[in-house]
Amino acid sequence: MMYRDGDPLAFEMLYRRHKDPLYRYLLRGCAHPDSAAEMFQDVWAGLVRARAGYEPRARFGAWLYRLAHNRLIDHLRRAPRAPLPLEEELIPAASEHERPEAQALAGEAGLRLRRALQTLPVEQREAFLLHEEAGLTLEEIAEVSGVGRETVKSRLRYALAKLREALADG
């Protein structure tokens, strides 16, 4: 609200608080860093334009991820069959303090988990990421996705089951 009323510092505060989860949500939703960066900028630009219409009826996070959800869905509709990125791109750079074995295990598990995420249907993947990355509640996920609470629960059950199987195979 402070930013809506014209406080530029309020925007910077909001940006720093939500930028990383938002980026991960978009990145793991589409699995392409370039697309994720583009959507990331679009979401913030949309927020800047729509700030005058923000009403404090819901949490700012829910409003922000509603914009991100719409943008991600638009992207997936336009490029639904984009090829998955190379495995090397999926494995993040390991930290220096991690042991080689741990790095290998983490890399392999991370690879399987990313693949499993990408194989999930869009609705299930979104529900999982909105909670795991954005920290939204069931009701907020339902509002962002435009479906009912029970539908969100059902989607999460299926997503968890498939991810559990993917991690257990390893």
Cβ proximity to other proteins, 1 vs 160, nearer residue: 160
Give the interface segment with other proteins, choosing from 3-11, 63-71, 75-83, 143-151 (CB under 8 A). Answer: 3-11
**How far, in Å, CA of 12 to CA of 158, rounded?**
37
Least distance (Å) from other proteins to the CB of residue 73? 20
Using CB under 8 A as the binding rule, whether residue 161 contacts other proteins is answered as yes
Plot region of 146 (φ>0 → left; ψ -120 to 50 → alpha; else → beta): left
Number of residues this chain uses to bind other proteins (CB under 8 A):
42
Using CB under 8 A as the binding rule, whether residue 163 contacts other proteins is answered as yes
Least distance (Å) from other proteins to the CB of residue 71? 14
What letter does residue 98 receive in the DSSP assignment? S
Cβ proximity to other proteins, 38 vs 122, nearer residue: 38
Helix (H, G, I), strand (E, B) or coil at 85: coil
**How far, in Å, CA of 139 to CA of 145, rounded?**
10
| 145-151-154 Cα angle (round to 5) | 120
Residue numbers 23-42 binding other proteins by CB under 8 A: 23-24, 27-28, 37, 40-41
Using CB under 8 A as the binding rule, whether residue 80 contacts other proteins is answered as no
Q: Which of 1, 2, 12, 121 binds other proteins (CB under 8 A)?
A: 12
String of DSSP letters for 103-160: HHHHHHHHHHHHHHHHHS-HHHHHHHHHHHTT---HHHHHHHHTS-HHHHHHHHHHHH
Residue numbers 81-140 binding other proteins by CB under 8 A: 92, 95, 106, 109-110, 112-114, 131-132, 137-138
